[in-house]
Structure 1
Amino acid sequence: MPKFKYLSHYPESLLLQVKELLESGKLAGLLQKKYSVGHQIQSNKALYAYTMEIKQRYLRKSDPLSKIEYSDKVSALNALGTHSRVSRVQGAKLKAKKEIRIDSRFRNLPEPFLRMLVVHELAHLKEMDHNKAFYKLCEYMEPDYHQLELDLRIYLTWLEHEKKTP
């Protein structure tokens, strides 16, 4: 069985299905049929507006975000997105800033995957750990969260197999 780095924690039966679809050349068609449309969220300004719209709808009372941007450095951390909390002393006050960075590859991936990742990073405003409450919050903001996460992992596996860059 080949190593699929994006699917490492999934059951062997799923890995076998993905392997068979990859080898038969059917996976590309299935993914493109389901996720054929791109998106217009190309700039950091557009990503900020997109993220803030979701935040305002579901997490109105959560902490403010100071920065939301695409970053080429995120994939170097072996991640798809990051959230960070930066605290700085300014005079007698402690200023806390929260930032979200999304892997630049998501500029070219289908919008449902971008939404899933934005929801994931926003959920970290309320829940730092990947626990039940965290995933409940993700499902609240995106009911198809778990399916989108699996599909994204399969999509990235396909891109890696085909040596394509989004």
Structure 2
Amino acid sequence: MFECTGYAINTSSTVIPVFVTSTLPPSKVLMTWNELFDRGAVFAKMTIPTSGVAYLIAALFTHLTISHPKITILGIQQATQLLIAGALLFTVLPFTLVFVFPHSVYPLRARLVAIEERMRLGEEVESMVDIRAVRAELANFSSKNLFRAAIFTTSMILGVTAHS
């Protein structure tokens, strides 16, 4: 969970702003962004189900085995807080499918596919890419990714503080 949170925050707050202001050719920016996105997707695919299910199992176990509910430092019953942490973590998937993919990932990947096709044909690609549009799409992705990072962080804080 910590890796996914850190990766998402770092990508949105450090890496994407460098891309937006970079003098790198647009094709290199898009290819590098695509690699970063794919790596983040691997983290998320492992972390969300594992941590989400772990929180939900911990919530159920806590609810079933503790006769006097413990109140966490946030003033919430421990089992309820774990349930919220797990449920919140699973909201990343619909958010990504509804807001991130159609409005950020698909447009960027469409540009990348066009660039790769032209490169394969030996054509010059940099002049065909509107760098301002790429920068705007990257900034759009960054803000949505930062929101996902906030969901990861909130879920992690709820999970960690449920046991304090």
TM-score, normalised with respect to structure 2: 0.27
Larger helix percent: 2
Q: Which has the higher contact order (CA 8 A, sep 6+)?
A: 2
Richer in strand (by share): 1
For the pair shown, the structure with the greater C-alpha radius of gyration is 2
TM-score by length of 1: 0.27
